[in-house]
Structure 1
Amino acid sequence: MPFKVSEVKTDFEFTELIAWPNARQESLEECTQRQLEWHRSDPSSYWQKVTDTATGEIVAGALWKLYSENPFEKEDHEEAYWYPEGGQREYVNGALEIFGRPRATMGRRPHVYLNIIFTRSDYRRQGAGDLIMNWGITKAQEMGVEMWLDATPYGVPLYKKYGFVTVIENPLNPKKDDPDDEWKQLDQELGPLSMTVMWRPASGLYEEGKTVFPWNGSTGLSR
């Protein structure tokens, strides 16, 4: 099946990429506007889409962060301002802080970060994801930098195929001494969440016991 990968450049393309058949219109508009604002304010942001050239439909998409410098030189904690003030926002703020902590500690060098990747369910396992991953690897090679991503359990085997190794399991379970009902409700709704932090060396080749991990100068994964 013929696919084409290209950069997302226009507001219309953003709306088309982010839209899903079951999304509520008000949620879609708010989400699209937020993503646009983040993209425009972040020079490292690179959105791309995969199009089925036979139908013109977008079948997959990704958000890459292309860092030519250490992105953590300046501490910047993301605030979940899209949640109303209260327990839910506090919970999401805590989860976001935990989510970003490993890379903020170990990835303090220029690198390529796969922030978001998705494929339409009816187009999975047809090569769209491969196009995205190969694009990112080629870009990292051009820049001469390492790569990072946060994987769900479903994605770990796929990323290992591209030379990524597991660095740490990262449970996203913020804690609070006296959580309010909003915090408890969101904690219950989301359930146990955990991401696998994965890394690919700038050389592209990981050799167990030989590859030096730049965040600790060793050949082991002790942190």
Structure 2
Amino acid sequence: MSERYVVREAKTKQELDDIMTVIWAANYTPYEPFMQLFFPVLGFTTAHREAAIAESKERFRKQHQADPSSHWFYAFDTVTSKTVGCAQWVISETNPFAAGAPKLTAPWWPEGECRRFCESILNQVYQPRASWMTRPHCALNWMAVDPAHRLRSIGSLLMNVGILRADELDLECWMEASGMGRPLYEKFGFQSLLKLAFDNEKPGASDEWRKCAHEMTPPPIFAMWRPKRTSGVSSRGELSLPWALGMER
């Protein structure tokens, strides 16, 4: 079955647009609250949804083109000639947090409580990464597989391309994983460091904030780390964990 699918790196507008189509399909089957954080549908009609998809494609294309560390790979079905899976591997060969942790914003949301709620969640996601990944590393930021093509080893193909690149560069790896994806990542040497539950409480929260918390708070995620290929093990057989490895500026 794996011979049916080939993995390619996205270079063109059409390839990136097709990747975004997969992300939309994958995150609505089953529904993933993260979807609304990144891609809000600001209305209830088909036209609102189409506008949201168009905006997301334009935004992600610009973000990718502006970031030389971003690498989007996609699984191509040679039978149907369609993109059926995708992954973004971010390869940082220097410390990406040398200037400190970024303050993430969500300008795709209109000004208001929904935007502030989204920004609160996004910054919680990034907190462990910015604290512990202050060395060169390879991060898996996104992975999605079209629902009709799941359980066909597409996820493994997309993992392999990033892991091979990391090992070639002798980089450790990082990701924030859902419970559904965690078993796959463990097969590639990732280990869970902590389980992160999101804090959606706010003193004196408005009704709008409470609505966002009810509808868009993601389930807990796992901060996962894979040591670099040449990592040493102590005389007691212990592997040094990220917070014990120091900082590289």
Aligned pairs (5 A) from 1:16-35: 16-19=18-21, 20=24, 24-35=49-60
Corresponding residue for residue 98 of structure 2: 73
Aligned residues: 218
1:149 to 147, 153, 175: 175
Aligned to 1:221: none
Letter in 2 for 1:47: W
State the Cα distance separating 1:198 from its structure 2 match: 0.3
In percent, how many aligned pairs have the same letter? 33
Q: 1:192 to 1:55 in 2, by over 3 A?
A: closer
DSSP-derived class of the 2:155 partner: helix
CA distance in 2 between partners of 1:110 and 1:183 (Å): 37
1:97 aligns with 2:123: yes
Q: Is 2:12 aligned against 1:13?
A: no
Alpha-carbon distance in 2 for matches of 1:178, 1:74: 33
Is the alpha carbon distance of 1:52 and 1:205 closer, same or farther for their aligned partners in structure 2, counting shifts above 3 Å? farther
Q: Which has the higher helix share?
A: 2
Measured on the aligned residues, the alpha-carbon RMSD in Å equals 2.1
Q: Is the 8 A contact 1:163 1:205 kept in 2?
A: no
Distance 2:155 2:232 in 1: 22
**8 Å contact from structure 2 (residues 166, 173) kept in 1:** yes
Q: Tell me, which stretches of 5 or more residues in structure 1 are unaligned?
A: 219-223
Matched, 1:212 2:240: yes
User: Is the contact between residue 173 and residue 193 of structure 1 (CA under 8 Å) also seen in structure 2?
Assistant: no
Mark the runs of 5 or more structure 2 residues left unpaired by the alignment: 29-45
The match for 1:106 is 132
Aligned residue among 89, 104, 127 for 1:64: 89
Determine the C-alpha separation between the residues in 2 that align with 1:11 and 1:191: 32
* Distance 1:205-1:217 versus aligned 2 partners, 3 A rule: closer
Kindly provide the CA deviation profile for residues 74-111 of structure 1, in whole angstroms up to 9, marking residues without a partner as x: 23211011111111111111111110000100111000
Q: Distance in 2 between matches of 1:205 and 1:216?
A: 13
TM-score for the superposition, normalised by structure 2: 0.82
- C-alpha distance in structure 2 between counterparts of 1:145 and 1:96, whole Å: 25
Instruction: Letter of the 2:91 partner, please give it.
Output: L
Q: Looking at both structures, which has the greater relative contact order when contacts are Cα pairs under 8 Å and sequence separation is at least 6?
A: 2
Please give the residue correspondences for 1:77-88 in structure 2 after superposition, counting only pairs within 5 Å. 77-88=103-114
Describe the SS at the equivalent of 2:243. Answer: coil
SS in 2 for 1:82: coil
Code of the residue aligned with 2:14 in structure 1: it is F
Q: Is residue 167 from structure 1 mapped to residue 193 from structure 2 by the alignment?
A: yes
Aligned-residue offset at 1:204 = 7.3
Residue 135 (structure 1) aligns with: 161
Alpha-carbon distance in 2 for matches of 1:43, 1:182: 37
Structure 2 partner of 1:44: 69
Q: Quick one: distance in 2 between partners of 1:140 and 1:33?
A: 29
- When residues 204 and 180 of structure 1 are mapped into structure 2, their CA distance, relative to the original with a 3 A threshold, is farther
Q: Which residue of 1 aligns with 2:184?
A: 158
Structure 1 residue 66: deviation in Å?
Answer: 0.5
**Paired residue secondary structure (2:97):** coil
Partner of 1:176: 202
Point out 4+ residue stretches in structure 1 off by more than 3 angstroms. 20-23, 204-209
Tell me the amino acid that sits aligned with residue 10 of structure 1.
T
Structure 2 CA distance for aligned equivalents of residues 10 and 67 of structure 1: 22
